[in-house]
Amino acid sequence: MAVHEAARVLAPGGKGLFLFAAKGDFREGNPLIAKTRDESEVRALFSGPGFSRVDIDEHITTIENRTRLNRDWLVTVFK
Q: How many domains are contained in the chain?
A: 1
> What pTM value is reported for the model?
0.86
**Enclosing domain of residue 41:** 2-78
Nearest to 73 by CA among 53, 43, 33: 43
Which CATH number fits the domain that encloses residue 15? 3.40.50.150
**What is the structure's pLDDT at 78?**
95
CA angle 17, 79, 58 (to 5 degrees): 35
Residues 7-34 pLDDT 10s: 999 999 999 999 999 999 998 988 887 7
Report yes or no: 22 and 74 within 8 Å, Cβ to Cβ.
no
Report yes or no: 77 and 46 within 8 Å, Cβ to Cβ.
yes
Residues 36-62 pLDDT 10s: 999 999 999 999 878 999 999 999 999
Report yes or no: 16 and 76 within 8 Å, Cβ to Cβ.
yes
Q: Which strands, in side-by-side order, build the sheet including 53-63?
A: 15-21, 68-78, 53-63
